[in-house]
Chain A
Amino acid sequence: MEVNEKIAVEHGLKPDEYQKICDLLKRVPNLTELGIFSAMWNEHCSYKSSRLHLKKLNTKGKKVIQGPGENAGVIDIGDDDAIVFKIESHNHPSFIEPYQGAATGVGGIMRDVFTMGARPIANLNSIHFGSTQHKKTKNLLRGVVKGIGGYGNCIGVPTIAGQTCFDQSYNGNILVNAMTLGLVNKNKIFYSKAAGINKPVIYVGSKTGRDGIHGASMASAIFDDKIEEKKPTVQVGDPFTEKLLLEACLELMSDKSIIAIQDMGAAGLTSSSIEMASKGNLGIELNLDKVPCREEKMTPYEIMLSESQERMLIVLENGKEDSAKKIFDKWNLDFAVIGKTTNSKNIELYFEKEKVANIPIKFLANEAPMYDRPWKKTKVPQKIKFSNNNFKKLKFNDVIKKMISNPNICSKQWIWEQYDHTVMGDTIQKPGGDAGVVRVHGTRKAVASSVDSSASYCYAHPFTGGKQVVCEAWRNLVSVGAEPIAITNCLNFGNPEKKENMGEFVECIDGINEASKYLNFPVVSGNVSFYNETKDKGIKPTPTIGGVGLLKDYENIISMNFKSKGNLVLAIGKTEGSIDQSVFAKVILDEKKGPPPEINLFNEKNNGETILKIINEKLALSVHDVSLGGIMIAALKMCIKGNKGVKFYKFKGLINIYQYFFSEDQGRYIIEVDKNNLKKVESILKKNSVHFDLLGETTDKEIIINDELTFTVDKVAEFYKGWLYKYMS
């Protein structure tokens, strides 16, 4: 087939991009070459709209071993141990085929982590769906949860935490973001940079099929009515093969045979081979006849663009082929020498004795387009004026019931009970806590991790929202007693060619960056997902932040459940009563406008560090951060998890009691303290100038507000736990 502009446009390239290809090559590319360009130059692989802004991110820190740019980020957790972690989106495939889309999302991110030599020790996920009233939501939720479970459960890596959000802006574009943490010896990390000429290039794992061809291009396009036709571009996952691949790769990594290794993710063999060669400033020659294929008569074009899962590309030391092959034979996996590194600095492909492609690698990597897209700033919305009239008719019982059973607040047990969260025998905080915690096997250390997003805040004001998500991740780690170390981000946005969406992206990044710098909480890895848009309707800007922290001794872990009756309950941090953009404003007052709560980074840091002091001195019995639904919901969750009640002392504040209890002011925590320890806790708080309110005390079962019994904890637990089960049944 003769290549022309029309075919290039069908591949998702813009006419001027096609012209640039012809200019660079000084000729018209053939179809295979065009396919390779389109795969490398699409948004998903080239980050052409985001690169300019991602450069601004704070990626440095004392504990950062590897920042963005590799398969995953790496941080130092002491004693030669390092944690490899990353979050990645699999949004577009999951909307089209929820089970396989979500499953291969989990598989892909785990591969990114064990490619670096790390054994995966925990999975997390952040999933966003449309309105609970939307006809597709239930099936998508069911399929995504089954897919995540189907993959992670089979591999045997615990899913320890997650986040689920419902909002109508995701009606046509759900989000599935998967995160994996792996453990590695910091002296035995593997990278993707090839080195040396004439080194064998090895293909291992599953055979190549026709699935997923142009998956990365699909992920770089908006959806329309014909979305169902894109089903063949969704990859099919095989977790069993991945488990074998994991064990085989880790076995091979125990000696010194590997020079470079890269998983075949988006754009398959194309991007993996080009990336390794490009990083090593080398050329690469592949003989496509040698690639193990699952289907007959696959063309070079198809082989290069297939996104079949569970495959790896390795550059090996000369002479190590036989010993390496033995390992893959043992695990019943394909192993083929398919090429070598060269000094040509080109990618050269051969098929049936003919040269079928020859492209200078720099054209595909460094010369890929980079755009400074126009963007629009978002003004801070005006504050909504609430008066006492807004609250006059409210009754606590009604409000509590409505809030605690709200889809975005209620228990997600229906979801996480379908994930194996205890395999590997080191999960010491399971899902449902502020962060998941796993022990570093065989040591006193433990790693905490959480994922967060706050699309409503980011939509109202992207800069504040961006800051807020980072703070929320920080707070969740602090709440289990971990010292926060670093983050990974998954930036889910609409169409970057629209200046509103691009503006959301730019300002969210600025917000993330400011908080990340202030909190010394660097970004070490991440991924961007644009074009989350269907028929002109984009999603709310949704940066998802995955945080990782360390507990030096897991005995210091703390949970949110109230421990016994008669203890004091303290709210840490100042409550201003701002309810704009809160769940309360939306659900109870039907008010969706206004600015998100303000972020005071000094207070955020100071409050968090003070909480850690209190935890480490063993003065807190339980800790929980205050987020959606404010103090009331935070306290009720602590009641439910601990099967205790709470008696709130008579409220004496100047603001309305509803504003006090339901505002989503930032930087706050609730802690439970033994009465005998109050003085000590007070003195630490005062010494660090941290504001606190004495809220009340724990009871046996009763939840008492203004001296009146509202509910027993059993009843509230029913509202909290029941909603999702009922919805899904």
Chain B
Amino acid sequence: MNSSVIIFPGSNCDRDMDVALKKFGFRNKMVWHDDDKLPKSDLIVLPGGFSYGDYLRCGSIAGKSKIIQSVIDFANSGGLVLGICNGFQILTETGLLKGVLQQNKNIEFICKNIFIKINNSENKFFSNIEKNVLELHIAHNEGNYFCSDDELKSLEDNNQIAAYYCTSDGKIDEKSNPNGAIKNIAGIFNEKKNILGMMPHPERMIDQYLSGEDGSVFFENLIRNLK
């Protein structure tokens, strides 16, 4: 399987994603934001970080960068796109995903382990996944997902909510919501479910010496689904 990770100026999880993708069997290429063509890929990843310093609004400048049109074309033709953290923010800025990511409710950067409950596993990302609740890691200042009532309704009606923040046993409650996201939303899909944006970082949880191993569960399942 071929994957590509886009590097924007200020991306800082690009290497981590590269390491994770390769560990689970992807042939990964790094793509510079100023390129206009994507290599042949089965998966495009927009990694975490602070693209362009996130100085205007998180992800907004990256959402206008040269490579993005190719990413949009790739996504519109059904290609698989994954945006993690800043990547999720960029996807909302391009309009490929609905809603916005606001500053965390406690107005502080949060770096810690959290749990997410997978809400829809009828898609390439999560089908056949062996665990319904994953322990992943978040590290962000703007992860507080928000959208209008109409958008929320359509997300729910089309089953586009990918995952909710929850307790270790899968209960979705206010206490397990780390950043104030509406309805505890941790990640969403587009209508066709070929684009996934989520705040948690699976690439930081890929061996027993790190904060956990549920990232491995995510990647192993993903590559299995793509084969």
Contacts and interface: CB of A to CB of B under 8 A. Distances in A.
Contacts of A149: 109
Nearest to A418: B109
A663 B210 CA distance: 35
Given A156-B49, A420-B111, A425 B9 contact: no
Contact of A239 (B50, B111, B203): B50
B112 A417 contact: yes
Contacts of A240: 9-10, 50, 52-55
Contacts of A243: 9-10, 12, 50, 53
Interface in A374-433: 416-425, 427-428, 430
Contacts of A557: 209
B98 to A, nearest CB: 27
B176 interface: no
Contacts of A239: 50, 53
A154 B50 contact: yes
A356 interface: no
A330 B9 CA distance: 10
B204 to A, nearest CB: 5
Contacts of A439: 209
Contacts of A422: 111, 137, 139, 201, 204, 210-211
Given A419-B111, A422-B111, A422-B204, A427 B210 contact: yes
Interface string B140-169: 010000000000000000000000000000
Given A417-B110, A418-B109, A419-B111, A425 B203 contact: yes
A603 B109 CA distance: 43
Nearest to A416: B111
Contact of A423 (B12, B55, B141): B12
A424 B209 contact: no
Interface in B8-32: 9-10, 12-13, 15-16, 19-20
A420 B210 contact: no
Query: Which of A243, A427, A554 counts the most B-chain CB atoms under 10 A from its CB?
Result: A243
B12 A155 contact: yes
Contacts of B54: 154, 240
A164 B150 CA distance: 47
Nearest to A437: B209
A153 B109 contact: yes
A314 to B, nearest CB: 21
A711 interface: no
Interface in A451-492: none
B16 A423 contact: yes
B108 interface: yes
Interface residues of A, number: 32
Nearest to B49: A156
B213 to A, nearest CB: 13
B91 interface: no
Interface in B99-126: 108-112
B206 interface: yes
A559 B201 CA distance: 24
Given A156-B12, A423-B16, A417 B53 contact: no
Contacts of A421: 111
Contact of A331 (B9, B12, B141): B9
A401 B106 CA distance: 28
A238 interface: yes
Given A240-B50, A423-B139, A156 B13 contact: yes
Contacts of A154: 10, 12, 50, 53-54
A423 B15 CA distance: 10
Interface in B195-225: 201, 203-204, 206, 209-211
Query: Which of B20, B50, B206 counts the most A-chain CB atoms under 10 A from its CB?
Result: B50
Contacts of B111: 153, 416-422
Given A239-B53, A240-B50, A428 B209 contact: yes
Contacts of A418: 108-111
Interface residues of B, number: 31
A156 to B, nearest CB: 3
Interface string A132-148: 00000000000000100
Contact of A424 (B16, B50, B55, B109): B16
Interface in A31-54: none
Contacts of A153: 50, 109, 111, 139, 141
B194 to A, nearest CB: 26
A244 B112 CA distance: 27
A677 interface: no
A243 B110 CA distance: 21
A424 B112 CA distance: 15
A86 B55 CA distance: 29
Interface string B164-193: 000000000000000000000000000000
Nearest to B12: A156
Contacts of A430: 211
A600 interface: no
A332 B34 CA distance: 12
Contacts of B13: 156, 423
A420 B109 contact: yes
Interface in A69-95: none
Given A153-B109, A417-B110, A439-B209, A425 B204 contact: yes
Contacts of A155: 12
A533 B137 CA distance: 42
Nearest to B211: A422
Query: Which of A416, A417, A420, A424 counts the most B-chain CB atoms under 10 A from its CB?
Result: A420
A240 B48 CA distance: 14
A254 to B, nearest CB: 16
A155 B50 CA distance: 8
A239 B50 CA distance: 10
B104 to A, nearest CB: 10
A142 to B, nearest CB: 9
Interface string B41-62: 0000000111011110000000
Interface in B69-117: 108-112
Interface string A494-534: 00000000000000000000000000000000000000000
Contacts of B55: 240
A438 to B, nearest CB: 11
B108 A425 contact: no
A418 B109 CA distance: 5
A332 B139 contact: no
Contacts of B141: 153
B10 to A, nearest CB: 5
Contacts of B12: 154-156, 243, 423
Nearest to A153: B109
Query: Which of B13, B16, B109, B112 counts the most A-chain CB atoms under 10 A from its CB?
Result: B109
Closest 7 CB pairs of A and B: A156-B12, A240-B53, A425-B16, A428-B209, A154-B50, A420-B139, A418-B109
Given A422-B201, A428-B210, A554-B209, 9 more contacts: A153-B109, A154-B53, A156-B49, A241-B53, A244-B10, A424-B15, A425-B15, A425-B19, A427-B210
29 contacts: A146-B108, A146-B109, A154-B10, A154-B53, A156-B13, A156-B49, A156-B50, A240-B9, A240-B54, A243-B10, A243-B12, A243-B53, A331-B9, A332-B9, A417-B108, A417-B110, A418-B108, A418-B111, A420-B139, A422-B111, A422-B201, A422-B211, A423-B139, A424-B16, A425-B15, A425-B203, A425-B206, A425-B210, A428-B209
